[in-house]
Structure 1
Amino acid sequence: MMLPVALFTLSLASLPLLATALGCDRPGRTAGPAPAPPNVAPAPALEGAAQAADGGATPAADAAGAAAGAVDAAAAAAAPLRADGPFVELPVEGFPSAMVSVPIGATARRPVLIASHGNYDRPEWQCQVWRDIAGDGVFVLCPRGVARSDSPSPSDVRFTYESNARLEQEIDAGLAALRARFPEHVDPGAVLYTGFSLGAIMGSAIAARRAALFPRLVLVEGGHDKWTPETAKAFADGGGQRVLFVCAQAGCGAAAAAAAARLEKAGVLARVVRSKEAGHRYDGPVAEETKRALSWAIEGDAAW
């Protein structure tokens, strides 16, 4: 089920300050009423464990090859991933809990997708939308950030991120928690980073300095203005491979095209896709366009 994003109507006096400070979710670009939160299950205890691979290596076996074979055998023998529901709450050391869409029933290692939300948003909504986009066979890790004091109510708390450095730390802690929680099922390699609005803006800065971990990006309605020739080169030099921009507004499309040109010049594959004019949002027609283009973003990635 696709859920809309709701942006709270702020007081006129506070709008310019917030728009300048946060750089996203500008006033007047709403996406409908707030959806009900998903049916979230607390993180259950792991049921079952990977069966140990039987039999030893021959005397002539290479030690590194034997170790790699043991890891592959353990992953292949992993018990089906079990959870009380498709979404689990994941405790993260030093940060608020994250939301995770889990590949229930998986018996092998599955890739990880980071879904960073926008300002005045919720990780639950990102996880729901991205589970529909990417499917139920991958992990979708949705960092929470910090609660906003101007949330609509105690039962409808909205979140933001303090800085890209702080979000980077929260993602690292979340990945560590996810790998500890599902050690036989989480792929240990590179991660697909996706972000909407504020999450896209901050993700561009993070990926420029952490391209080895985030070589592929999907940036929805944001993140294009951060790709200077210098950051594009840093991303390419660090191992950056592909950047997909998804836009629902004409202004976003023009800026994303300019950013894509800078990335291509630096040696990174880049693509811009547009949904029909839909306002500043990531669900509905924007999610449909993202889903159609996702195969390009993950093309050639063995983990997928």
Structure 2
Amino acid sequence: MEARGRISRTVGVMGLVCLPMFVALGRATQEPPAGRMTSTTLRTTHAEVRSTHLAPLDGEWLRTLVDAEGRTVGVVAVPLGSREPRPVVVAAHGALSRPDWMCGATRDSVGPWPFIVCPHPAASVTTMASWSDGRTMRSVIDRALAAARTLFGARLLGEESVYLGHSQGAMSAAFALGTPGDAAAPFPFGLFFEGVPHDAPGAARLLQGAGMRRVLLVSGQAGWGSAHQAFARSLRARAVEARHVHAGGGHFFSPSSVVTIRSMLWWLVRDAPHWHVER
């Protein structure tokens, strides 16, 4: 197993993780937000959580997840300093990728507030791997969540979870979440970056049946915008609230995609009281 210190220093590859200095370069183009919010409104969703007697969470920010049978099933990014239960983001990487890269990029994109569980189908977190099918993906997700609960217990909220998929992790999301799995891990919110299923109506049916009620679709490559828009229409036809934004910047987590995801996260979790989103 890799040394934790080495894992925690892994910051990304091929533009996955952007430095904070890039965030100031500019805002991504997006459609005006719906509802009463305006461009002058502070778009921050403050978590309505009561103080607890939990000690501040300390230790390493990135930890390896091992299931009950001793198998490595991913990594988790930890909200250090938290004193209350926090929501969970399950971040599924794309083909030939690693969970530590995905957790680093996701933390840049959604901020340090939630626990970020990054499942992985290979025996080592430093081995690049792909997802074989939705059923296997769901099994690894469930085992990674169970391993995180073993480490952190009630600090992980069972509701208000976000499924974030990149590339293959987005394309396969409906097949994974539509597979019967851990009933304690519902995903009311979905964020799909640079990946849509081939059967958009069928995927929308599966996600609606799995309890997903709001989806943010983010494209990076110009050629993928129309497919993301079509998937959004299929989701809305199933009464799943859906919105598409084009970030630019290509297929990976570029500065523009990180800025776009961070700036639109408020829309996705705006009615979730335990979320805190700063833009």
After TM superposition, the score normalised by the length of structure 1 is 0.69
What's the offset of the Cα at 1:238? 4.2
Note the 1:61-210 alignment, pairs <5 A: 76-83=52-59, 85-94=60-69, 95-146=71-122, 157-209=127-179
Q: How many residues of Structure 1 are paired with residues of Structure 2 in the alignment? A: 233
- Cα distance in 1 for partners of 2:10, 2:200 equals 30
| Structure number, greater radius of gyration | 1
1:260 aligned partner: 232
2:190 aligned partner: 217
2:214–2:240 contact (8 Å) kept in structure 1: yes
2:261 aligned partner: 290
- Cα distance in 1 for partners of 2:259, 2:222 equals 17
Equivalent of residue 211 in structure 2, options 227, 234, 239 = 239
1:122–1:158 contact (8 Å) kept in structure 2: yes
Relative to structure 1, is the Cα distance of residues 80 and 128 closer, same or farther in structure 2, using a 3 angstrom cutoff? same
Note the 1:20-39 alignment, pairs <5 A: none
- Cα distance in 1 for partners of 2:132, 2:210 equals 25
After TM superposition, the score normalised by the length of structure 2 is 0.74
What's the offset of the Cα at 1:106? 1.1
1:5–1:121 contact (8 Å) kept in structure 2: no
1:5–1:281 contact (8 Å) kept in structure 2: no
- Cα distance in 1 for partners of 2:126, 2:150 equals 30
3-state SS, counterpart of residue 164 of structure 2: strand
3-state SS, counterpart of residue 233 of structure 1: helix
Q: Answer yes or no: is 1:270 the counterpart of 2:242.
A: yes
Counterpart amino acid of 2:63?
Answer: V
1:232–1:263 contact (8 Å) kept in structure 2: yes
What's the offset of the Cα at 1:82? 2.0
3-state SS, counterpart of residue 136 of structure 2: helix
Unaligned runs of 5+ in 1: 7-30, 36-71, 149-154
2:95–2:131 contact (8 Å) kept in structure 1: yes
Flag the structure with more relative contact order, 1 or 2, with Cα contacts below 8 A and sequence separation at least 6: 2
Counterpart amino acid of 1:303?
Answer: H
What's the offset of the Cα at 1:3? 5.0
What's the offset of the Cα at 1:223? 2.4
2:134–2:179 contact (8 Å) kept in structure 1: no
What's the offset of the Cα at 1:120? 1.2
Percent of residue pairs identical: 29
- Cα distance in 2 for partners of 1:288, 1:2 equals 21
1:2–1:284 contact (8 Å) kept in structure 2: no
Alignment RMSD: 2.9
